[in-house]
Amino acid sequence: TGFLSQTQVNNLLGVVGDPNSKGTIRDANCNMVIVQVRRRFDVCYPSGVGEPYMSGLTPSNFNALQAMINAAHDTTGGKKRVEVHCWSVAFKTGQGEVYSEHNDPADPDNYWVTRLGSTSGSENGDGAFDPGHPKCLEYLVNAHMDLVTNFDIDGIHYDYIRFEGNTEGYNPTSVARYNQRYGLSGDPASSSEQFKQWRRDQVSGFVRQVYARVQAVKPNVKQSGAFVTWNPSPTSSTRSAFMATRPYYDVYSDWDSWMEEGIIDMAVPMTYYNWASLPNDYTRWMNFEKDRKFNRHMIIGPGTYLNSLSNAIYELQQTRWASPAGNYAQGFSGYSYRVPYSGGSWSGFSPSLVADVTPTWDDIPTMPWKTNPTTGHVCGTVTQIPDDAWADHATVSITGPVSRSMYVDGTGFYAFIDLPPGSYSITASKAGYADAISSADVAVGQVTGNMYVRDLLLGGNPLPTISNVQATNVTNSGATITWLTDLASSSQVEYGLTTSYGNLTPLDSTPVTSHSVALSGLNATTLYHYRVISTNANGTSTSDDYTFTTSGPPQISDVQAIDVGSNGATITWTTNAPANSQVRYGLTSSYDQETTVDPSLVTSHSVSLSGLTASTPYHYQVVSSNAYGTAESTDFTFTTTDPATEIVIDNLDSGCTQTGSWYSGSIAAVPKIGTNYLFTPGTGLESSTTATCRWTPNIATAGLYDVYVFYQIGSNRNEAAPFTVVYDGGQVVSIQN
């Protein structure tokens, strides 16, 4: 029933390459799977951080994750692409192999387990690690980035992204950091509001760091989580209402703030309630979720396994409804495939699911902040002299179009998400160290994921700060790379076909602040990645990744005729390199007319044709040229439309007949109608038809027509006048106020 063998994967997601084998997920019109690939620090894929394979796999080293990716992303024969989101239990180790490597209290740097009540209290029963330990945090980030960087996944999805009780969080290293931050000693009380916030911050720091690192390397990957709800349920859709719920005050999982900050792309709150006994709690949480999604996606997560079949379906149906405030979720994620309703199986559940919830396929909604972003981001790591240690307790402030400030996490990491474009100054501060200052010209579309990485060294000598990186004079075989630095430094460019680069220009050691390096010997019409490098006596600065595309002979694609009318049309097409625009057209493929060449060098082309004959088929060909050659498309055709026909009839026409009593009006100011319009008196809303007018126009040409009726507006008019259009296919009734 799962994914522990290739046979199970085939059943779940279909056989790769077989268009007739879709799998149970596609058969139910479900477009995403959230699969538990990391249980308790044991996995179903080759782990880059050495985590062992989970039990139950066949064979024991079966790469189930890759098998699921292959099957889910297979579009053979028109199969729909299913997204794969990797469910990972964030902190719970199950006291397995990884736990045994980090459970010696005599080795504080390597003792990562959380404790209850005090630094000498008992451990969490499941051997859960504590993100308040910096080395543990580093490991957790690396373990999840391993999934992101080494597999073509669609998302990373956290479970148990929290402490498990309000007395947890007493890892000795975390408590020592807390005491250092606030000048305290001993064990803080678990009821201390300050210590509660500290524990929230440790969980939030992990979520923030992974989000930023994903954005910097694979911005298409989505970050989400299965977040707890529980009782009491929120009394309103407000921040204060969330702060009165257990996720916030009891287990320190502040997912409401993560959504607001933008460090989660998609929330999947575990809205696990039995509709038969707790319908009000389910409803309150569901409405809160729909209202508090900010600029991110909200996926309602009903616990269908708690419900009867009919109630499971009903809870799923409700996820589609608007909240009382008129807000909607972007989808649902029922728990679980293994037990989709109380005592039930997928085979017993899916027919009702398809019939009543998912009768047709729906593509996953796009995330505009990923597909069409309007903001950028800044992140980095703050270290300190003399040994480049993580600068724990440093603050980083950013000023520009907006100003923000935060403490770094235990690994010195910071991130500011969703910054309006513009120039920003970044300052890291810590008592006893000279400030470290950097800057970023945040723009959209210039660096991978719009993530500007700025690492800072406290107390060190300044490195050159790079800005205004540009590719200019781009030809079919070369380009010039320019940039500025705030301090005089050397010039060098690393470039290639990927972010691995592979080519490095000779070092220009002349110290300058305005840099220019020429690249040559490039391939035509090719995307190149590059970054610039500048060094001074204090060290080396390297820019973010940038791209440019060399020019070359144009290649034409996506030729279309749009906005076709009776006397004109617009022809559009795309070229892979900037080129001019021209269209040849006529009644045959010999063409006998052509437009004037538009000399603008563009890749998206649009040319308007006019003076055409109505109801006539035309042939056309598009032509684009640049300095490197000319491209001509194949022959295409379109047909101009019939000329628009308008028929106006009123009560003076012979095609007008009436029943009942009608009277002629004479108010000249009535638009469209003028004088001599018809009216009939009545009292209130008519309960039955008492008078009718029928207009029968003489329509000479068969076709599709729009029909309009004009009524005189007034305070004493019928609020529900039926207007019926009768045609050869039946009739349409419109109620006019």
What does the alpha-carbon distance between residue 278 and residue 281 come to, in Å, rounded to a whole number?
Answer: 6
pLDDT of amino acid 502: 96
Element (H, E) at 457: strand 456-458
Angle formed at CA 428 by CA 424 and CA 430, multiple of 5 degrees: 160
Question: Same topology for domains 371-549 and 556-639, yes or no?
Answer: yes
What does the alpha-carbon distance between residue 712 and residue 583 come to, in Å, rounded to a whole number?
Answer: 49
At residue 657, does pLDDT exceed 60? yes
Which CATH superfamily does the domain covering 556-639 fall into?
Immunoglobulins (2.60.40.10)
* Radius of gyration of the chain from its Cα atoms, rounded to whole angstroms: 33
pLDDT single digits (tens) 339-356: 999 999 999 999 999 999
What residue spans define the domains of the chain?
Answer: 26-356, 371-549, 556-639, 647-737
For residue 30, give the nearest of 371, 342, 340, 305 by alpha carbon. Answer: 340
pLDDT single digits (tens) 69-78: 999 999 999 9
pLDDT of amino acid 680: 81
At residue 399, does pLDDT exceed 60? yes
> Which pairs with CB-CB distance under 8 Å and at least 24 residues apart come from 604-607?
604/572, 604/574, 605/572, 605/573, 605/574, 605/575, 605/579, 605/581, 606/570, 606/571, 606/572, 606/581, 607/570, 607/571, 607/572, 607/581, 607/582, 607/583
Q: What is the mean pLDDT of residues 222-249?
A: 98
> What topology is assigned to 26-356 in CATH?
TIM Barrel (3.20.20)
Tell me which DSSP letter residue 461 carries: P
At residue 671, does pLDDT exceed 70? no
pLDDT single digits (tens) 560-606: 999 998 899 999 999 999 999 999 999 999 999 999 999 999 999 99
Query: Global pTM?
Result: 0.67
pLDDT of amino acid 538: 77
Q: What is the mean pLDDT of residues 676-680?
A: 78
For residue 466, give the nearest of 539, 552, 386 by alpha carbon. Answer: 539
pLDDT single digits (tens) 420-443: 999 999 999 998 787 899 999 999
Tell me the one-letter amino acid at 604. Answer: S
At residue 718, does pLDDT exceed 90? no
User: Which pairing describes strands 331-332 and 436-442: parallel, antiparallel, or unpaired?
Assistant: unpaired
What does the alpha-carbon distance between residue 440 and residue 425 come to, in Å, rounded to a whole number?
Answer: 7
Beta bridge partners of 582: 623
At residue 654, does pLDDT exceed 90? no
Tell me which DSSP letter residue 113 carries: B
pLDDT of amino acid 242: 99
CATH top-level class of 371-549: mainly beta
